[in-house]
Chain A
Amino acid sequence: MRRALALGFLLAIVAMPGVWASYECTVYRDGYVHVIHSVQALPFEAVMRYEPLGTPYESFLATDPEGVPLFFSDEGEAVLIYTLGSDTVTVSYDTPALTAKEGALWTYEAYHDAPASVTFPEGSSIISFNPVPDTINLDTGTITLSEGIATISYVLLYTEDEHTENPFSGMALVAVVLAVAIGGGIFYRRLNRAAAWGEDTELDAVENRVMAYIAEKGTVLESEIRMQFDLPKTSSWRMVRRLEAAGHVTVERKNRTNVVRFNKRS
């Protein structure tokens, strides 16, 4: 009976990693996000491979349930944390990789593999979200979300005094107009170029293969890329975001699925 209980417990632990994991993300006005992630570890393993929500990250700290810091080593996009039998690890770090700004609009985008709460800066206003969150507290600017990809747009509000104080606003306006003009030109050229994909030295081998696949198909589902190239969910998601940021693809969300479209090359 004791053996049965031991194995039953073992099976339950093996089958349910991450059930109690959760994210607490705090967005700062400069676009950095402070992430606190409580994650379940396997108590009979010495190390845990941990992937932060975004790279680069800084001020990385991992602690055991008693708050004692754990030794870790960087492994590129992942971190090896020496959990040494801890059943829960609290990881915290800052990253600028989860937010982007366009015009007056800031966008927070992340893939949470566990429920998350995201708090936006004081003086910000939530503009839109996808998917619709579980709860929202407009007074504290905190949104709670189930696991999955979350895209939340917000704006930062200033007082009129703050506007007039800034000596760079005129220059910024000229710069934005120039950037829009140049961007528009590039976009127009891209639309008129052939669709074939050749090697791009800026991309790595896997990204080039994925791009050739997307170019051939024109439009693919993000899940299709993951399966076709046998990529982990987070790696695939990050890669598609990189390709999107580099202007090679456009990602649209349709019926809880991300559709990836090939952008014709300049």
Chain B
Amino acid sequence: MNHRILGIGLVCLLLTGAVALQASEGKGPLKGDTVLDTAERAYAAVERMLAVTADAPPAAVDYLSEARTLLDLASNAPEAPESRDMALEAMAAIREAARLLDMPPEPVVRALEARYARLTIALLRTEGAVGRLHALGIVTPVVDTALEAARESLENAARALADGALLRAQAALEEASIRIRHVEGALRDALGGLRLEGQVTRFFDTLGERLRAASAIIAAAEASGADTTEAMAAYDDIRLGLEEARTLRQEGYNQESRELLASLAPLLAELREALRSLSSP
């Protein structure tokens, strides 16, 4: 039986490997001409920056001319492997040139726009997650109020950005950021206290099924004369822990139930190890 188990395990592993291989198809090192194209664009970008920089350091100019020489050589035979290496060397020289350039900081409006985009996405993500809770019939009034306030601040920020009122936009974004943190805190509090029946029931069911499968494997191994002491001890502890967690949850002690489930992780690892050693020839 042990050989059969190992055989099936191996087949499962091979199948998973095949899926992974399929997923990676089409990947591989970039072709030389793509690297060269990237390097050419990099050169053009830094050359343009150099052109608008007053008193550019001579070393930056030297690096860029070194890059130009390498790129010219590489473009003679873009498909050749050496061309790719030369393009990579050119990129290294362009990077050094960019590092030496004293560019002014990002214009304020760009930084504000970036912050606005980030906060909007954070809020949308949280809204989506809260929407899923609502779809499950879970009411979250505190989170909803906080969401509304955060949305309002972001709308104010959008208006201020459109008007070019940068100070007002900055203040509104600051407020939005605080309010989004408030939403996230309220959501965590809600999740901590909620009875997410679907999730928890599914977990108890899944673990229960796994434990029944483990019990059958232990019993078969015992019947064939194997030493199952370790596996049995871990199995019993997990079963007792699971029952206790289920009771706690039924009595409304959700936090305690969760903590107890979390404490089962090392025991589950022990059980997996014990089952693995039982299946070794």
How far apart sit A7 and B8, CA to CA, in the bound complex (Å)? 8
How far apart sit A168 and B132, CA to CA, in the bound complex (Å)? 46
| Cβ-neighbour of A4 out of B8, B108, B200, B272 (below 8 A) | B8
Q: Count residues of chain B with CB under 8 A from any CB of chain A.
A: 96
Question: Which single residue of chain B is at the shortest CB-CB distance from A173?
Answer: B102
Residues facing B in A1-60 (CB within 8 A) are 1, 3-12, 14-16, 19-20, 28-30, 32, 34, 42-47, 58-60
Residues facing B in A122-147 (CB within 8 A) are 125-129, 132-136, 138, 144, 146
Contacts A59-B180, A69-B187; is A127 near B199 (CB within 8 Å)?
Answer: no
B69 interface residue (CB < 8 Å to A): no
How far apart sit A182 and B238, CA to CA, in the bound complex (Å)? 61
Question: Which single residue of chain B is at the shortest CB-CB distance from A158?
Answer: B107
| B positions within 8 Å CB-CB of A | 1, 4-5, 7-13, 15-16, 19-20, 23-24, 27-30, 34-35, 37-38, 41-42, 44-46, 48-49, 52, 88, 91-92, 94-95, 98-108, 110-111, 113-115, 117-118, 121-122, 125-126, 128-130, 132-133, 136, 180-181, 184, 187-188, 191-192, 196, 198-200, 202-203, 205-207, 210, 213, 216-217, 220, 258, 261-262, 264-265, 268, 272, 275-276, 279
Q: What is the number of contacts between chain A and chain B, taking CB atoms within 8 Å?
A: 247
Contacts A3-B220, A11-B279; is A127 near B13 (CB within 8 Å)?
Answer: no
How far apart sit A169 and B104, CA to CA, in the bound complex (Å)? 5
Interchain residue pairs with CB less than 8 A apart (6): A69-B130, A84-B202, A105-B98, A133-B30, A135-B27, A163-B52
Is A29 a contact of B30 with CB atoms below 8 Å?
no
Which 3 pairs from chain A and chain B are nearest by CB?
A: A8-B8, A12-B12, A85-B203
Contacts A15-B13, A30-B115, A169-B104; is A72 near B128 (CB within 8 Å)?
Answer: no
How far apart sit A63 and B131, CA to CA, in the bound complex (Å)? 12
Contacts A34-B118, A126-B41, A138-B38; is A68 near B98 (CB within 8 Å)?
Answer: no
Contacts A15-B13, A127-B94; is A134 near B28 (CB within 8 Å)?
Answer: yes
* Among listed A149-157, A214-222, A226-234, A255-263, interface-contacting one: A149-157
Question: Which single residue of chain A is at the shortest CB-CB distance from B189?
Answer: A71
| Cβ-neighbour of B98 out of A3, A146, A155 (below 8 A) | A155
| Shortest Cβ distance from residue A86 to the other chain B in the assembled complex, whole angstroms | 8
Is A134 a contact of B27 with CB atoms below 8 Å?
yes
Is B196 a contact of A68 with CB atoms below 8 Å?
yes
Is A11 a contact of B199 with CB atoms below 8 Å?
no
A194 interface residue (CB < 8 Å to B): no
Is A28 a contact of B114 with CB atoms below 8 Å?
yes
Is B261 a contact of A71 with CB atoms below 8 Å?
no
How far apart sit A136 and B36, CA to CA, in the bound complex (Å)? 12
